[in-house]
Structure formats: structure tokens, C-alpha cells
Amino acid sequence: MVEGTPAAANRVLLVLGLALLAALLGLDLASVAPNRILPGEGVSPWGWLGPGAVPLLAFPLLLMALAWRGSIRALILARALVVVALVLLPWGLAAFAADRVTGSQARVTLGAGFWTLLFVLLMIWVELQARLKGGIWLTLLPLLSLALALAGGHLESLALMREYASRSGAFHEALRYHLLLVSAAVGLSLLLAFALALAMRRFPRLRRGGFALLSLIQTIPSLALFGLLLAPLAWLAARYAWLGELGVQGIGWAPALIALVGYSLLPMTRNSVVALDGVDPGVVEAARGMGMSPAQVFWRVRLPLAAPVILEGIRITTVQAVGLAAVAALIGAGGLGTFIFQGLGQAAMDLVLLGALPILALAVAADSLLSALARLTRPQLRREVQ
Amino acid sequence: MSETPRIALKGVTKRFGAEAAVDAITLNIAPGEFCVLVGTSGCGKSTTLRMINRLIEHSDGEIHIDGRPIREIDPQRLRRRIGYAIQSTGLFPHWTVARNIALVPGLLRWPRARIRERVEELMTLLGLAPAEFADKYPAQLSGGQAQRVGVARALAADPEILLMDEPFGALDPITRESLQEELRRLQGRIRKTIVFVTHDMDEALKLADRLVVMRAGRIVQQGSPDELLAAPADDFVTSLLGGRDRGLKRAALTPVARVMRPVDARLPVEPAVSPDEDLRLALSVMLWHRVETLAVVDKAGRVCGSLHLMDLLGETP
């Protein structure tokens, strides 16, 4: 227990505080460019505020002082400080933009200093969450602040938002398509994997061959797999007209979906098999001995007890599919990856971010949602902890 | 025995491949009898038990329940009529205690109110306060509590027969002993036909009306605990019964009340034993206090008899 031990300085926090200080002192927070083509001019806190930036240094110094104390109370204060900083961050950017940006084409590109700041703040947050109990809801405050700043139009002159504004229609379409592709792949592979897992349990000889094949698919690089699918799918579409009418081609959603399902099958099948095998044989024996039918044993006992591990498989698969679907943009499957590859082609990093940040957010959201769901499926364990 | 045995095994054999795990055993168990199968591990006692509710199908011979061959009964229906408790309890970890106990009545589609009533009745019978335990999950119970729930679940649909496969095997000695006591008391009230498997001879001696000693798939000897202690069939049974230690084991089967003398006014009230304690304990008390006579004092604190060292010898030849 933390309460009982005498407070020692938190070294992790001290180092992170130093990093914050260095980022504020040495790096450009953002740059301002007159339009999309011309390179921007970097601005550090000193370049923007001059001597007025000195109070900013109070933040890392205060944080390091609290880290030095290291008591629970100091850490709680530090967490409050970090939340405040994260909440203020979008508004600081808005103020900077309002001050520096002139003209409808001028834009603010986030610089190394900003990203370092954000990254270190999140690291501090993780460190503090590991030391302190509760406070998960505090995460909502920075998100809320960001949402308010966005909704109020205060961040319009960010290059990222400019890119978004000029292709918001395409963005929403890509987001929708990305979600559709991922959910179709996860849903389909869940059905297939579950059927496969049941078959493997019934016919143990299927196991070795099945898993070998699935592992083999897993080792093929995604681009190579798309390439491998191109010819057969094109041939199938040409041969059977109804497939072509469905939209099956050598490129597009069909190979993307097949590849995503292929990659999803291994984690999904393995988790399902392990989960169903892992149910305590004593419990199953008792269930049979009490006179439950095989179907009742499966639906009422084996499946509910296996559910948390199966859900874990769905979680892994979903997060993986969210990322892989980005690559599918290369074969014309659409989705958020489109912006990443366009941006790379045009050397427009903000366009890359327009694709990458939502993918990141989707992955994190899917991860936390499905973890929460997995926790809900084992109430007896949750209670035991209390 | 004039009445039909509740459970009858006639030349029952179970082969796994070429090997016979149970080899042509014949056994009749009367209604209300507490029958304990005892033997070293791998002797076929568990297999025998599991053949009775068709978790394992017998290869040869016949098993009858109330005179009817069990092969004629649908296995699921058969099992719902037979209580079953096992060592690991097999409680469903995702169900509450109340729901676990209600399992078989639920399968039999009892009305909900009757199930609730029955669950409360059983929890009270087994010393689990319904208000405290009904909504707990198995992971929140101690080993002893979980095993009580296991027994309650086995009794839920009021079966005539109860099969118990080393139900107390995983418990600490103190919990195990108190559950044995309770099971014996419970059996005095409910009079089920119980088939109980154990490798613990002390447990077997304490619980059994009829003791069945098994070895390598065969029955070596069967009879009441007293009969077996008096005349073990061979060296195997003798060693299983504790060898030269079996004098004490036999003394442990006889209550003080059976051999005590009338009240002896000259005796001090201390040291004393109670009439339902056993002779082994009385001997221990004598050894401890270095006396040859003890007062017998009942629960109400009244002196109701006396016990001499000679009395112990009279009952234990």
C-alpha cells in the first residue's frame, strides 16, 4: 500500500518534468505558413510571447517539485495539474492561431514541441494513473475541452482542420467506409472462426493443420496478400457476371475484406479454441452429472465461461483490423488510409494526420470498449476483487 | 434382504480398451443405506460410481435402480433423479449460490415459487444463511461453504439416491471433519441412499453403514465397519484399515453410551466425557489425565454414568 510507506521522490516524474522543460525551452511549438505550398516559419514560446512565456516554465518546475515530494497528496496535485494543462492545450493553440494567423489560407502546423509536449503529458498521466486509484473519468475533461474548441471553430486555422475543411465530405465517406470494412471483417471472421473452433474441438485432427494454415496466412505481408488476391479475384469476376455485379474485382473492397478476414482468423480461432478448452472440466462434469443436455452444457455453461477470452480475441482482431484497413486504401478499397497515402504523395503531413489520427482514435476506442465489455462478462471476478 | 435393493450391480464390468477398470462386481445397496466405496487410487471406485448415473457406460453386466435396468432410462432423466456431488464441487462460477442450487429443479421445470422455497430450505438445512449467501458467487466462498453448496445442489430435487465422489477430499482436516459430522446428522434426517467414494479410511469408517473395499477393479470385502474391523479378509484390507492401529479405529466407532456403567457417586465430575463421544476419545482422556475411571456428563451438564478402563477392553476384543 502506498499510504503506509514514507514518501520518496518519484524519479519517473522528475525525468518527464525535465523533458517537458526541455521541450518548452528548446523546440518550436508550431509553425505558421501563409498557404498550403509555402513552408512555415517555426515559432517557440519565446518567439510568440517573448518574456511573457516565462510563467509557462512554472508548470514543469511545479510538477518537478511535486515529484520531489512524492507523497500521495503531491501526486494527486500533480494529476490535477496535468489535467489542467491538457484542458488548456487546445485553447492555447486557439489563442496562438488568433494572434498569428492572417488571411483565409494561412495555417498553423503543429511542431515538434507541441507533439513532445503532448506525448510527455500523456506519459505523466499514465505514470500517475498507475500510482493513484480511480480518476478514469478525468480523461473526459481534456476530450471535452478539445471537442468544445473544435465545435466553437477556434481551431479552424490549424493546417489539420484546413485539410479537413477542404475535404470534409470525403472524410466522412472514408470514415464510414473504414468502419464498415472493419465491422464486416470482424463479424465475418467471428462467424468463421467460431465455426472453425467448434469443428476443431469435434475433430482434433483438424487442429494442427488448421492452425498451421492460419499462421501461414498471418506471415504473408499485407501488401503481398493483396497482390496475391488480385489475379484470382479479377478472373472470378470476369468468369461469373453476378460476382462482378456485386462489385467483386481484383482491387477494391473484395480483396481488402478477404485479407482482413484472413488475418483475423488466427487470433479469433485460437482464442475461441483456448477459451472453450479452458473451461474447468469439473464444472462440465458436474453439469453433465446433474442431467443437463449437451446443448444446455454448451450454451449455459461452456460458452458463458469462455466468453471473456473469446471477447479478448475479438478485441485483438478489431484493433488489428482498424490498422490493417488503412493499408487496404492502396488497392482502392477506400477508408481513412486514403488520406495517409495521398498525404505521403503530396508531402502534406497534415493530410497524413487527417487519416492517421482518426485511425488511432478508433483503435483506442475499440480497445477500451471491448475491454470494458470483457470485464462485464465476468461479474463473479469483479466482485471477488472488492 | 427382502425388499428390492435401490441400486443393484450384477456382474458389472467396465473396459477401457483391453484393460478392465471394473471387473465383474456385484453389489446391492438397500434403500436408505450409506454405502462407502473405499480403496487406493485407480481401484475403480470412481468409475463404479459414475456408471450408476451413466456418466460412464458399463461394458458388461447390469445395473438396476429400483429393479429397472438403467440402460432403459434416458441418461439425462436418470441423472436428474440422482444427486451428484464431486470433489471440485463443480459449482458454476458464473452463477450465484441460489442459482447453482436451483439447477436441477430448474431443469425439471418446477414452478419458480417452489424452487425459491426449496433453495431456502436447503440452504438453511446446510447451515448457509440464505440472506447472506444466496447472492454470492462461488469464488467468494470458503472451501467448506462451497462444498455445502455442492451438497445442497445435489439434494435440490429431493432425489432418492445421492452419489458423492470424494466430496470432502480437497478440504482441510478440520472443515472435513465437521462436514462429515454434518453429513451423518443430515443422513439421519433425510435417509437417502448414498454411494460415497473416498480413499480416506477414517472418513469411510465414520460414515458408512456398509463399507465396500475395492482393489484393481474388484470388490475385496464388504460389510459393516465393525465386521470389517473384526475380520479383515486379507492383508490388503488389514493394512487399509490401519494395521495395528485398527484397535483405536474400532474404538472410535463405539459411543460411550453403549458401554458406560451407572452413576458412581464417588467419582469427581472432572475429568469427564459425554455419552455420545467415542471410546477412542475416552481412552485419550484417560491417558492424558492418568486415570482409570471417568465420569460421563451429558450436554445439560448432568452426570449420567461412569466409565472404567475395563469397559473399553470389554467392547474392543
Chain A CB contacts of B92 below 8 Å: 283, 286-287, 301, 305
Interval B110-164: pLDDT, tens: 999 999 999 999 999 888 999 999 999 998 999 889 999 999 999 999 999 999 9
Question: What local confidence, expressed as pLDDT, does residue A329 receive?
Answer: 86
Interchain contact, A283 vs B78, CB within 8 Å = no
CA A357 – CA A150 distance, rounded (Å): 15
To probe the interface with A, which of B94, B107, B108, B158 has the most A CB atoms within 10 Å? B94
On the question of pLDDT at A265 being above 50, the answer is yes
Alpha helices in chain B (DSSP H): 45-52, 75-80, 97-101, 103-107, 112-125, 130-133, 143-155, 173-190, 201-207, 225-230, 235-240, 246-251, 256-259, 279-289, 309-315
Contacts of B74 (CB under 8 A, 6+ apart): none
- Mean model confidence pLDDT for chain B: 89
Q: Do B165 and B198 contact (CB within 8 A), yes or no?
A: no
User: Which of A291, A378, A384 minimises the CB distance to B76?
Assistant: A291
B7: three-class secondary structure by DSSP = strand
CA B24 – CA B27 distance, rounded (Å): 10
Q: Do A336 and A326 contact (CB within 8 A), yes or no?
A: yes
Query: Band of the pLDDT at A1, cuts 50, 70, 90?
Result: very low
Interval B208-232: pLDDT, tens: 999 999 999 999 999 999 888 888 8
B260-291: b (≥16 Cβ within 10 Å) or e: beeeeeebeeebbbebeebbbebbebbeeeee
Question: What local confidence, expressed as pLDDT, does residue A6 receive?
Answer: 56
Interchain contact, A380 vs B138, CB within 8 Å = yes
CB atoms within 10 A of CB A100: 17
Question: What local confidence, expressed as pLDDT, does residue A386 receive?
Answer: 35
User: Which of A286, A291, A305 minimises the CB distance to B94?
Assistant: A305
Amino acid at position A291, single letter? G
User: Does A292 touch chain B if contact means CB atoms closer than 8 Å?
Assistant: yes
On the question of pLDDT at A173 being above 80, the answer is yes
Amino acid at position A15, single letter? V
Q: What are phi and psi of B296, to 5 degrees?
A: -110, 120
On the question of pLDDT at B274 being above 60, the answer is yes
Spell out which chain B residues touch chain A, with contact meaning CB-CB distance below 8 angstroms: 50, 53, 55, 75-81, 84, 86-94, 103-104, 107, 137-140, 153, 163
Interchain contact, A285 vs B94, CB within 8 Å = no
Nearest CA in chain A to B55: A289
Our CA-based measurement puts residue A278 at a distance from the nearest CA of chain B, in whole angstroms, of 13
User: Does A378 touch chain B if contact means CB atoms closer than 8 Å?
Assistant: yes
What's the sign of the alpha-carbon dihedral A181, A185, A186, A187? Answer: positive
User: Does A386 touch chain B if contact means CB atoms closer than 8 Å?
Assistant: no
CA B143 – CA B172 distance, rounded (Å): 8
Q: Over pLDDT 90: what percentage of chain A?
A: 30
The predicted complex's ipTM stands at 0.82
User: Which of B81, B86, B107 minimises the CB distance to A286?
Assistant: B86
On the question of pLDDT at A103 being above 90, the answer is no
Question: What local confidence, expressed as pLDDT, does residue A231 receive?
Answer: 84
Interchain contact, B79 vs A289, CB within 8 Å = yes
CA A229 – CA A238 distance, rounded (Å): 14
Question: Average pLDDT for residues B56-63, to the nearest whole number?
Answer: 92
Query: Band of the pLDDT at A385, cuts 50, 70, 90?
Result: very low
User: Which of A282, A304, A381 minimises the CB distance to B86?
Assistant: A282
Question: Average pLDDT for residues B220-249, to the nearest whole number?
Answer: 87
On the question of pLDDT at B314 being above 80, the answer is no
Pick the residue with more confidence: B66 or B245?
B66
Question: Average pLDDT for residues A322-335, to the nearest whole number?
Answer: 86
User: Does A381 touch chain B if contact means CB atoms closer than 8 Å?
Assistant: yes
Amino acid at position A384, single letter? E
Our CA-based measurement puts residue A284 at a distance from the nearest CA of chain B, in whole angstroms, of 7
Q: How many CB pairs under 8 A join A and B?
A: 76
C-alpha cell at A310: 473469446
CA B209 – CA A224 distance, rounded (Å): 74
Interchain contact, A286 vs B90, CB within 8 Å = yes
User: Does A273 touch chain B if contact means CB atoms closer than 8 Å?
Assistant: no
Q: Over pLDDT 90: what percentage of chain B?
A: 51
Interval B301-311: pLDDT, tens: 888 888 888 88
Q: Cell 511535486 belongs to which residue? A: A66
CA A108 – CA A90 distance, rounded (Å): 13
Pick the residue with more confidence: A179 or A334?
A179
Chain B CB contacts of A305 below 8 Å: 92-94
User: Which of B76, B103, B137 minimises the CB distance to A293?
Assistant: B76
User: Does A379 touch chain B if contact means CB atoms closer than 8 Å?
Assistant: yes
On the question of pLDDT at B316 being above 80, the answer is no
User: Which of A293, A301, A384 minimises the CB distance to B92?
Assistant: A301
* Per-range mean pLDDT, top range of A152-166, A369-383, B58-72, B228-242: B58-72
B265: three-class secondary structure by DSSP = coil
Interchain contact, A286 vs B84, CB within 8 Å = yes
Question: What local confidence, expressed as pLDDT, does residue A327 receive?
Answer: 87
User: Does A283 touch chain B if contact means CB atoms closer than 8 Å?
Assistant: yes
| Cα separation values, A43 from A40, A97, A107, Å | 9, 12, 13
Interchain contact, B88 vs A280, CB within 8 Å = yes
The pTM (predicted TM-score) of the whole model is 0.78
C-alpha cell at B217: 477393479
Query: Band of the pLDDT at A306, cuts 50, 70, 90?
Result: very high
* For residue A51, cis peptide bond before it (omega within 30 degrees of 0): no
User: Which of B53, B87, B137 minimises the CB distance to A289?
Assistant: B53
Interchain contact, B93 vs A380, CB within 8 Å = yes
Nearest CA in chain A to B85: A286
Question: Average pLDDT for residues A56-62, to the nearest whole number?
Answer: 89
Our CA-based measurement puts residue A205 at a distance from the nearest CA of chain B, in whole angstroms, of 21
Interchain contact, A291 vs B104, CB within 8 Å = yes
CA A130 – CA A133 distance, rounded (Å): 8
On the question of pLDDT at B60 being above 80, the answer is yes
User: Does A15 touch chain B if contact means CB atoms closer than 8 Å?
Assistant: no
Contacts of A144 (CB under 8 A, 6+ apart): none
Nearest CA in chain B to A280: B90
Residue A34's closest CA among A98, A102, A94? Answer: A102
- The DSSP output letter for A255 is H
Pick the residue with more confidence: B88 or A146?
A146
Our CA-based measurement puts residue B56 at a distance from the nearest CA of chain A, in whole angstroms, of 10
Nearest CA in chain B to A305: B94
User: Which of B55, B88, B163 minimises the CB distance to A282?
Assistant: B88
User: Which of B88, B93, B104 minimises the CB distance to A290?
Assistant: B104
To probe the interface with B, which of A284, A290, A299, A384 has the most B CB atoms within 10 Å? A290
C-alpha cell at B215: 482393489
Question: Average pLDDT for residues A34-56, to the nearest whole number?
Answer: 81
